[in-house]
Amino acid sequence: MRAIQQKGKYSFVFSRYSEPVARVEPGEEVTLQTEDAFCGLLENEDDDLDEVKKRRGGPNPQTGPLYIEGARAGDTLKVHIINIEPARDWAVSCIQKDFGGLTPNKFTRMIDVPPHDKVYVYRFDNEGMLRCGDFLRFPWKPFLGTIATAPELEAVSSLTPFENGGNMDCPDIRPGNIVYLPVSVDGAYFFTGDCHANQGEGEVCGTALEISANVKLKFDIIKGKKIEWPRIESADEYMVAGSARPMEDAARIAYAELIEWMTEFGWDRLDAYQALTQAGKLYCANMVDTNYTMVAKAAKTLICRSAAR
């Protein structure tokens, strides 16, 4: 199986404006090496976060773009997440003075608020848990923080979740699941990175258990099918990730697009709206990024109920 290393610099945008690092055939399994959100530079609890930020070149380095053979604008890219392996024996998180869900930040500005950077380094213990001190100990539940195709014309920051995916920080983008992304340019220009060893819903302080990882993926193309926002499929559920601000707009997108998806199974739109009212799930994937991400989902057993109509 082919291992793909990033040639040259990592990307800090999702865009068509750089050369593909590899060309991949549908159906081929590939392993991508990804770097962590701090470019591997934040390693000790007494590291100076400002210094690290200056040196890293940017936040959320991305591996890619991959050129997916046969993908054309207007198709849908189907990404099978097969496996995620840690590339190092540690993970890192931190509380930053200017980023986070309960921290004044670039968009939710406050006046005269003091710094409180704090770095947390986690190491695997004997039971395979990631541990930092006595109370912070979490299991290995890895997922892809970022996954995206390039937009048609924009170059989108690797901090941003948007219509083509991006920095959704959605724990359901994990091994065993499938992610569907819009294809906006020929070749799709696929990116991924920002793996997390674990993360709670909302990623409230703004950094999860950030890791470098080796990610095994396989791609398929659904020709001529156009979707508006990222979709996720697990063994049991169908999901849509909506990303916007304020958070209620993200929630609206997620449920509205899940209703659209249900119409493909034969549901009447109002009945789908009714069904999700009684049986949908709606959680927050991130409350910290440049857009907030809400994930709406429902059981396949519900959604498929009217397939035979």
Question: How many Å apart are CA 193 and CA 127, to the nearest integer?
Answer: 26
Q: Which C-beta is closer to a second copy: that of 4 or that of 240?
A: 240
CA–CA dist 293, 289 (Å, integer): 8
- The site map against a second copy for 284-303 (x = CB under 8 A) is x--x----x-x-x-x-----
- What is d(CA 166, CA 178) in angstroms, rounded to the nearest whole number? 15
Euclidean distance between CA atoms 135 and 115, whole angstroms: 24
Question: Is there a contact between 78 and 180 (Cβ–Cβ < 8 Å)?
Answer: yes
Q: Which stretch of DSSP H or E encloses residue 33?
A: strand 29-34
**Residue 190: φ, ψ to 5°:** -90, 140
With respect to a second copy, which residue has the nearer C-beta, 118 or 223? 118
Q: How far is the CB of 197 from a second copy (least distance, A)?
A: 9
Q: Does 232 bind a second copy (CB under 8 A)?
A: no
Q: Are strands 22-24 and 62-68 parallel, antiparallel or unpaired?
A: parallel
> Smallest gap, in angstroms, from Cβ of residue 94 to a second copy?
9
Nearer to a second copy, 79 or 250 (CB): 250
Q: Give me the sign of the Cα torsion angle 142, 143, 145, 146.
A: positive
Number of residues in contact with a second copy under rule CB under 8 A:
81
**Residue list 255-274, contact with a second copy (CB under 8 A):** 255-256, 259, 267, 269-271, 273-274
Q: Compute the distance between CA of residue 242 and CA of residue 228 in angstroms, rounded to an integer.
A: 10
Q: Write the single-letter amino acid at 241.
A: A
b/e code 164-180 from CB counts within 10 Å (16+ = b): bbbbbbbbbbbbebbbb
Write out the binding residues for a second copy, residues 138-157 only, by CB under 8 A: 138, 153-157
CB of 139 to a second copy, least distance (A): 9
CB count, 10 Å around CB of 223? 11
Min dist CB 214 to a second copy, Å, is: 22
Considering only residues 180 through 209, tell me which ones interact with a second copy, judged by CB under 8 A: 198-209
Q: Is 234 in the site for a second copy (CB under 8 A)?
A: no
Give the one residue of 136, 176, 236, 264 binding a second copy; rule: CB under 8 A: 136
Residues 53-82 that bind a second copy (CB under 8 A): 58
- Residues 92-111, one symbol each (x = binds a second copy by CB under 8 A, - = not), give -x-x----xxxxx--xxxxx
CB of 99 to a second copy, least distance (A): 12
In the complex with a second copy, the residue whose CB is nearer, 28 or 47, is 47
Among 23, 123, 223, 245, binds a second copy (CB under 8 A): 245
Residue 173's closest CA among 152, 204, 158, 194?
Answer: 194
Q: Binders of a second copy among 34-53, rule CB under 8 A?
A: none
- Residue 113 in the binding site for a second copy (CB under 8 A): yes
Q: How remote is the C-alpha of 172 from its chain's centroid?
A: 9
Which one, 3 or 153, has the nearer CB to a second copy?
153
